[in-house]
Amino acid sequence: MARRKTYADSVVRMGKPLRFGSERAGRNFENSFYSVFDDRGMATRLAAYSRDLTSHMQAQEELEAKFRYLEEVNTALNLGQSAGG
């Protein structure tokens, strides 16, 4: 939480958006902080958005594991063909 507060303060102070990842309770999030400007153009507040990426990241890990398995099978098949042919 201290890191989020530091980021929030920085976004309001600098007036520039910030994106960062975080993990809470075993879930992975992509966070975006944006300054909210008043009618004088001063950053006075913060808009914060979070998107839960946990299922996306899990699916990505599963795909990568399957891809590694297929590469291993392909290598084994190619070695078998080389030895037999």
Residues 38 and 44: beta-carbon distance below 8 Å = yes
The predicted structure's pLDDT at residue 81: 79
The predicted structure's pLDDT at residue 1: 73
Threshold 0.75, pTM exceeds: no
Q: What is the CA radius of gyration of the chain?
A: 23
Residues 38 and 32: beta-carbon distance below 8 Å = no
- Tens of pLDDT along the chain (85 residues) come to 788 899 999 998 888 999 999 999 999 999 999 999 999 999 989 999 999 999 999 999 999 999 999 999 999 898 877 776 5
The predicted structure's pLDDT at residue 82: 74
